[in-house]
Amino acid sequence: SQKIEQNSEALNIQEGKTATLTCNYTNYSPAYLQWYRQDPGRGPVFLLLIRENEKEKRKERLKVTFDTTLKQSLFHITASQPADSATYLCAIQPGRRALTFGSGTRLQVQP
Amino acid sequence: EAQVTQNPRYLITVTGKKLTVTCSQNMNHEYMSWYRQDPGLGLRQIYYSMNVEVTDKGDVPEGYKVSRKEKRNFPLILESPSPNQTSLYFCASSFYREHANEQFFGPGTRLTVL
């Protein structure tokens, strides 16, 4: 069956370090992959989109990689800050089908 | 201001009493969708629409209906709500070219069915 897996355990890191979150998928061939941030009780907010023919995408302190051979995307936040504490969701879209979300990984950045 | 609005934001109802949650966007987006979010299960798509009069089932459509008569509105209808539909609901919209672009989410509707 098709699955998107994100680490359900919270990731705790110290301020200033780089946070790395993982999104693995099986039985999909997504053309696009997106990352979102969600704060408690609020709707997700779009961060980055990466296409299957792009290996890496950057936006300010954020970096996303997309490895279609490993079926994995990595999401990095460099120089992390307590304000980066949130749940991060990956979402994939296989072709013209609907967008499907992973269950998210909670990041806690300690001051 | 570009936004997705949902109403009501909070609703407590009883089993079997029909309800509608409205969703409206002012960005002229083609694509709209409804999700429910439950602890440990993440966001699961209920229905989506790629344009007016075009709707399709997502992963968990049972017990829900939608309609897309106008581009800006995409109401979610629960004909006979049951307690297992207690959840946090999000509406989202985006442009749709060859793929779904950046999704804009509404603020959420917290529904409790007693």
pLDDT at A32: 85
pLDDT at B96: 78
Tell me chain A's radius of gyration from C-alpha atoms: 13
Nearest C-alpha neighbor of B106 from the set B18, B19, B37, B16: B37
B48-53 long-range contacts (CB < 8 A, ≥24 apart) are B48/A98, B49/B74, B50/B96, B51/B96
State whether A43 and B45 contact (CB < 8 Å): no
How does residue B102 score in pLDDT terms, banded at 50, 70 and 90?
confident
State whether A36 and B103 contact (CB < 8 Å): yes
Q: Residue A37 pLDDT > 90, yes or no?
A: yes
Q: What is the mean pLDDT of residues A48-77?
A: 93
- B-side interface with A, Cβ within 8 Å? 4, 33, 35, 40-45, 48, 56, 58-59, 88, 90, 92, 98-108
Q: Residue A26 pLDDT > 90, yes or no?
A: no
Q: What is the pLDDT of residues B29-56, one digit of tens each?
A: 999 999 999 988 889 999 999 899 999 9
What is the number of alpha carbons within 13 Å of residue A60 lying toward its C-beta?
5
Residues of A within 8 A of B4 (CB-CB) are 43
